[in-house]
Chains A and B, each alone.
Chain A
């Protein structure tokens, strides 16, 4: 069964305190792993797509990496405006058109 698990569920950081979020996945034939940011009450905002193990993508203070079983979202020197829920998703191996999401990691950055 396709599955995406994110950890931790919640993370509190001080401004400037770097950390990583984890996304582990079980899917037959990975066809892309996607990271999104979601602010409360709003739709998810696309961040990154990763297609193969070893691939890395960067955007400002965020860097996403991919292995054969998991992905990490590294946040370097976070700021309060980075506070949000970060979602990870993969395309289902069974229902190929469906994105399967994890429950997300809620990040809070205090100044």
Chain B
């Protein structure tokens, strides 16, 4: 079975630009979470969506937004990019059933802001 997929793999942007990252969860998973990972740190939670509704938001500015589509895929949008937004952006999906379930991660999108 296919795992979590993300696109693009790599992206280079300049300060002030906008970026959209895409994620497709594992088939049958309805929950998608986004994380930011800077070099040398663990992933940091940005958003979680379940059944197209936002269920959680981390400590990130309003420049970050996301949405989930009827097929459970998701987009992460970042406006007015800053140098500090350079990071590996990870998407994860969780199996249905509720509770504290494990999250399965995609390969990530490497964003470089110049």
Q: Closest Cβ of chain B: how far from A97's Cβ, in Å?
A: 3
Residue count of chain A within 8 Å CB distance of chain B: 27
Q: Are B102 and A46 in contact (CB under 8 A)?
A: yes
Q: Closest Cβ of chain B: how far from A106's Cβ, in Å?
A: 9
B112 at the interface (CB under 8 A from A): no
Give the docked Cα–Cα distance between A38 and B99 (Å).
24
Give the docked Cα–Cα distance between A58 and B101 (Å).
18
Contacts of A102 in B (CB 8 A): 42
A8 at the interface (CB under 8 A from B): no
Partner of B58 from the list A43, A46, A95, A103 (CB cut-off 8 Å) is A95
Partner of A98 from the list B45, B50, B104 (CB cut-off 8 Å) is B45
Q: Which 8 A-B pairs have the closest CB atoms?
A: A101-B42, A97-B56, A31-B100, A98-B45, A43-B105, A32-B100, A97-B48, A44-B105
B→A interface (CB under 8 Å)? 4, 33, 35, 40-45, 48, 50, 55-58, 88, 90, 92, 99-108, 110
A→B interface (CB under 8 Å)? 4, 31-32, 34, 36, 41-46, 49, 51, 87, 89, 91-92, 95-104
